[in-house]
Amino acid sequence: MTESERHERFLAYFLRHQDEIAAVVGSMVRDRHAREDILQEVALTLWRKFDDFDEARSFGAWARGIAVHKVLQSFARQKRVPVPLAPETMEAVLAAFDATEGEAEELAEKEAALRACIEMLPEKSRRLLALRYEENLTLDAIARRLSSTLDAVNKALSRLRQALRECVHRRWAEAGA
């Protein structure tokens, strides 16, 4: 395989799995900026070790393993960003991501439906999503911004995620029918 073919092959694998890698890292690293740093490190490590990858195995599982290793390494090196989960818990979570790998591809296909569902949300709900996911505000900050309470914002976000999940399922089922 030439170097350029190797590049293309790696990119094809990486682009297909990058969202899933982001989800794994995101479940363990809550700070978005630290997460983006780690994702960049993961991408480089995957490329550096691509020769070691056995194509008979799952790229996703291989990449997720390296991503979790990078998370652990990163926290050992940069103690200023706290890691909420213990290493044994991270192992259990990694195993769960491996066991539900099929869900990732399904979600990728549903992203367009999700965006349509977000567009249909009332203004207040879209504003809440923007504050949380776009501006990356803490719940405290959102509560202050909206003159609400932390508990109310927590519940509202949870309900919003659930409502979006149901909306996507509904649209998906309708499209299938």
Does 36 participate in binding other proteins (rule CB under 8 A)?
A: yes
Does 162 participate in binding other proteins (rule CB under 8 A)?
A: yes
Does 165 participate in binding other proteins (rule CB under 8 A)?
A: yes
Site for other proteins in 12-31 (CB under 8 A): 14-15, 18-20, 22-24, 26-27, 30-31
Map residue 162 onto helix, strand or coil. helix
- Other beta carbons within 10 angstroms of residue 78's beta carbon come to 11
Question: Which tokens belong to 129?
Answer: 């999503």
Among 52, 54, 55, 123, binds other proteins (CB under 8 A): 123
Site for other proteins in 53-112 (CB under 8 A): 77-78, 80-81, 84-86, 88-89, 92-93, 95-97, 99-100, 103-104, 107, 110-111
- Round to whole Å and give the CA distance between 162 and 172: 15
Q: How many angstroms from the chain centroid is the CA of residue 123?
A: 25
Q: Which is nearer to other proteins, 55 or 134 (CB)?
A: 134
Handedness of CA 10, 66, 138, 122 (dihedral sign): positive
